[in-house]
């Protein structure tokens, strides 16, 4: 269960959709600043990726070898041990 925490983004409106095989998050608000340049946007993208990945890893199922992504591209194989490590918070390697 998630812990109640103080709001860090007052005025932010979070729209979260959870469905079979998809999770999407949209955040809008007057306090949301747009990154100033492409480098700053890449940093923000990486931070968001890492934050969401940290949450989703506990709900992830290892992908079978040879599977393809919804866009038809290859899927990186993640070992079951890495998923267990993510769920327990004990990483034996890196998950990017």
* 27 φ, ψ (degrees, to nearest 5): -125, 130
Residue 14 parent element (H or E): strand 13-19
Q: What is the pTM of this model?
A: 0.59
- With cut-offs at 50, 70 and 90, classify the pLDDT of residue 95: very low
pLDDT tens track for 38-77: 889 899 999 999 999 999 988 887 766 666 666 666 665 5
Residue percentage of the chain with pLDDT more than 90:
35
Q: How far apart are CA 71 and CA 54, in angstroms?
A: 23
């Amino acid at each position: 269960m998630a812990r109640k925490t103080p709001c860090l983004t007052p005025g932010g409106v979070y729209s979260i959709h959870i469905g079979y095989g998809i999770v999407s998050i949209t955040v809008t608000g007057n306090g949301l600043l747009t990154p100033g340049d492409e480098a700053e946007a890449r940093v923000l993208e990486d931070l968001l990726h890492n934050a969401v990945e940290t949450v989703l890893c506990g709900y992830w199922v290892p992908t079978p070898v040879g599977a393809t992504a919804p866009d038809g591209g290859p899927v990186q194989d993640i070992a079951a041990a890495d998923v267990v490590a993510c769920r327990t918070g004990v990483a034996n390697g890196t998950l990017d």
